[in-house]
Amino acid sequence: MQDSTMTEEQARPAQRTTSDLARAAVSGWLGTAMEFMDFQLYSLAAAIVFNKLFFPDVSPAIGLIAAMATYGVGYVARLAGAVYFGRMGDRIGRKKVLYLTILLMGASTTLIGALPTYSAIGIAAPILLVALRLVQGFGAGAEIAGATVLLAEYAPVRRRGLVSSLVSLGTNSGTLAASGLWALLLGVLSEEQLLSWGWRLPFLLSFALMLFAFWLRRGLKESPVFAERADVVDGVALRRDEVESAIAEADDHRGDVLAAGVRQRKGKAFFLALGLRFGQAGNSGLVQTFLVGYIATNLAVGKTVPTDAIMYGSLLGFVTVPLIGLLGDRFGRRVLYLTLTVLTMAAAFPAMLLITSGSTPGVLIGMVLALNVGVLGLFSLESVTMAELFGARSRFTQLALAKEIGGILATAIGPVLAATLTAVTGSWWPIAAMLVVYSLITFVSALLSPETRGRDLVRLEDAA
């Protein structure tokens, strides 16, 4: 196989103006911000109020587990969305899919804010909540994958890590917005006001954001990599039988390009990407979802402390994320993956000691440290590395599946498992142990992965 490192001119086959890049960057950032704001609104609501509003007839511990389970079912729907929209994105282009995903996410999130609660309609309330969570997840299953692919394929090769990190900044922006809204609600409303109407406001406000994101994407041009793919004719990718015919009829160069992408055995790059995803996804579910409820339920600190910690950590993330993107462009992806995972494993138990110390400064420092090193730093790398691992022919589908399967195995199941283990053991150590295990999986995957920095994204075959 020839050297995959290309010059900027070779790796950018179709030119886009600075204005096109800026619109793609803002569109990708905003859509991802909206996705993560929606999901963080839900996860915080699940940790703070949904156990009381939708599961009031059980003990607090069981209510928290049930609320975490409703959070987790969205990841099952995300997998279905990844399959459906991922194949669509590889077949007809990236931007058309991004119209649909933003509408599904925005509409379902808004409707969650209008739901009647258990006290009004009984068991139908949690059933409707789960149904809307499924719709929300179906749309979100391809949103972040689409934004990741779009930005990586638009970016200048020497700044691909930095530009792609905007996806991670979008997740950070969404997390910050959701955490800020919840911190505000918890700070100014009484518990009665919060449970009666205050919890609805963040969900209803997402409607305006959906309209703006949809308007912004109307003028977005297709990815230059998709436009220049060897198997794309008139804006639609060829079917396998059409590709085989094209290989037979093409000149030597085009035939070689098509054959390399279509006949390569798939699988290795996918499982490497899945392993790289595991650390970030698992750590995110523990830090940004489970610990918020755990701290509020088990520690004698102010009710706003966990949401404040997520907010402060997200603010610091506006430095962490682009810095990691720049360092990845300078030194490569693998060395940073190895460094961040080792730091996360080394800090897991000390961070949990700080968080469970019962002091507000300890909670804040431990949460901010865990969020930036074990979640946001890894996410910045993930945004570009997974796009570079896959070939152009199936990049959208494979990237979406790796993200969502990793999300189900780690982010969705993790909080439920953590809630169960801490309830059984009566201790915090399972949380630290899970942080170590998730990070170790990513460490091993990074060791086995090729260096992808500078890879030509028009190539149809995977990097491994």
User: Based on the structure, what is the number of domains in the chain?
Assistant: 1
pLDDT tens digits, 416-434? 899 889 989 989 999 999 9
User: Is 3 part of a structural domain of the chain?
Assistant: no
Which of the four pLDDT bands, split at 50, 70 and 90, describes residue 369? very high
Tell me what pLDDT residue 67 has: 64
Query: What pLDDT shows up at residue 144?
Result: 85
- Grade residue 387 by pLDDT with cuts at 50, 70 and 90: very high
* DSSP annotation string for 107-141: HHHHHHTT---HHHHTTHHHHHHHHHHHHHHHHHH
Looking at 6-15, 93-102, 402-411, 435-444, which range is the least confident one? Answer: 6-15
Greater model confidence, 129 or 376: 376
Does residue 207 sit within a domain? Answer: yes
Give mean pLDDT, residues 145-160. 90
The CATH number assigned to the domain holding 35 equals 1.20.1250.20
Which has the closest alpha carbon to 399: 151, 209, 197, 35?
151
For residue 5, being part of any structural domain is answered with no
pLDDT at 212 over 70: yes
Q: Is the pLDDT of residue 224 over 60?
A: yes
pLDDT, tens only, 246-294: 666 665 555 665 666 566 667 899 999 999 999 999 999 899 888 888 8
Mean pLDDT of 117-138: 84
In a domain, 213, yes or no: yes
Least confident of 170-184, 240-254, 296-310: 240-254
pLDDT of residue 30 exceeding 60, the answer is: yes
Identify the pLDDT of residue 140: 84
pLDDT grade, residue 13 (50/70/90)? very low
Residue 11 in domain: no
Q: Is residue 259 part of a domain?
A: yes
Instruction: Give backbone dihedrals phi and psi of 211, rounded to 5 degrees, phi first.
Output: -60, -40
Q: Which DSSP state fits 221?
A: P
Q: What are phi and psi of 233, to 5 degrees?
A: -125, 125
Residue 392 has pLDDT above 60, yes or no: yes
Is it the case that residue 108 has pLDDT exceeding 50?
yes
Contacts of 268 (CB under 8 A, 6+ apart): 462, 464
| pLDDT band, residue 121 (cuts 50/70/90) | confident
Instruction: Name the residue among 256, 252, 244, 236 with its Cα closest to residue 460.
Output: 256
What confidence category does residue 461 fall into, taking pLDDT thresholds of 50, 70 and 90? confident
For residue 260, what pLDDT is reported? Answer: 60
Report the alpha-carbon distance of residue 144 to residue 27 in Å, rounded.
11
- pLDDT score at 5: 42
Total-model pTM: 0.81
Confidence category of residue 4, pLDDT binned at 50, 70, 90? very low
The share of the chain scoring above pLDDT 90, in percent, equals 31
Cα(381)–Cα(273) distance, integer angstroms: 11
* CA–CA distance, 212 with 231 (Å, rounded to integer): 34
Hey, which of 38-52, 108-122, 181-195, 438-452 has the most confident mean pLDDT? 438-452
Q: Which domain holds residue 425?
A: 16-448
Contacts of 47 (CB under 8 A, 6+ apart): 64, 67, 68, 289, 290, 292, 293, 296
Higher pLDDT, residue 433 or 188: 433
In this structure, is residue 156 part of a structural domain?
yes
Is residue 461 in some structural domain?
Answer: no
Q: What is the mean pLDDT of residues 69-95?
A: 83
Task: State how far the Cα of 242 lies from the Cα of 258, in Å rounded to an integer.
Answer: 11
- Give residue 264's pLDDT: 66
| Percentage of residues in the chain having pLDDT higher than 70 | 86
Q: What's the whole-number average pLDDT of the chain?
A: 83
Q: Is 385 left (phi over 0), alpha (psi -120 to 50) or beta?
A: alpha
Q: Coil, strand or helix: which one is 251?
A: coil
C-beta of residue 136 within 8 angstroms of C-beta of residue 104: yes
How far is residue 94's CA from residue 222's CA, in Å, rounded to a whole number? 7
Give me the mean pLDDT over the 355-378 stretch: 92
* Per-residue pLDDT, 455: 92
